Amino acid sequence: MKSGRTGRRPGSSQSDNWLHLAVRYLARWDRTVAQVEQFLRDKGASPAQAKQTIGRLSDLRYLNDRAYAERWVESRLARRPMGRERLKAELQAKGIADTVADGAIQEALRGVDEEALARRALKARQQRRQRLTPIQALRLLRQWGFEEETIDRMIGALIEREESGA
């Protein structure tokens, strides 16, 4: 039988209850350390209780920001190609540390041509709409976090195709 906000079960310790609550939260979806910490704090855990619970989850290998970031980047790139800047910003918004985000992105993009990703991004967008103007393509590529050199090359090629009538 449960009682209170933490779903406390009779006969179990407070730390076991926080762990049980966090495991249930993780069972629904992959989460970051920051997300689990915020969840526990929102449920009434003290900073020390949240930290202890996160330590136990990490020891049990239920929680690993590096693995989360690597899976998330691969999944994100499969669904929507984007540049490093956008990937990093989205990981940071999820509470992933800069060094962890950089490592996951570097690993996922190893051997991947950013121009090929940019072409995929433009092609996907053009399939949903009419042709993109160079200005629309520029905005899209910037919004999706591609590097300026890549954007310059892509826009140059787009303008050349327009001028040649292709």
Is residue 118 domain-shared with residue 91, that is, in the same domain? no
Say which residue, 164 or 160, is predicted with more confidence: 160
| Residues across the chain | 166
pLDDT at 36 over 80: yes
Number of domains in the chain: 3
Same structural domain for residues 121 and 159? yes
Same structural domain, 38 and 73: no
Q: Do residue 118 and residue 160 come from a single domain?
A: yes
β-partners of residue 3 are: 8
Shared-domain flag, residues 120 and 151: yes
* Same domain membership, residue 74 and residue 103: yes
Q: Report whether 114 contacts 150 (CB < 8 A).
A: yes
Residues 90, 48, single domain; the answer is: no
Q: Is residue 8 part of a domain?
A: no
The pLDDT of residue 133 is 87
Looking at the structure, tell me whether residues 119 and 159 fall in a common domain. Answer: yes
Closest CA to 80 of 138, 141, 156: 141
**In sequence order, which residues have a C-beta less than 8 Å from that of residue 84 and are 6 or more positions away?**
105, 109, 114, 145, 147
What pLDDT, in 10s, does the model give residues 120-143? 998 888 877 677 889 999 999 999
- Whole-angstrom Cα distance, residue 86 to residue 49? 33
Report the C-alpha gap between 140 and 118 in whole angstroms.
10
Q: What is the pLDDT of residue 129?
A: 65
* Full residue range of the structural domain in which residue 86 is found: 65-109
Do 73 and 105 touch, CB atoms closer than 8 A?
yes
* The pLDDT value given to residue 89: 97
126 and 146 in a single domain? The answer is yes
In a domain, 19, yes or no: yes
- Which distant-in-sequence residues (6+ apart) come within 8 Å of 86 by Cβ? 143, 144, 145, 146
Burial of 56 (C-beta count, 10 Å sphere; 0-12/13-18/19+): middle
Which one-letter amino acid corresponds to residue 126?
A: Q
In a domain, 2, yes or no: no
In a domain, 148, yes or no: yes
130 compared with 27, residue with greater pLDDT = 27
Listed residues 59, 76, 95: the one ending a domain: 59
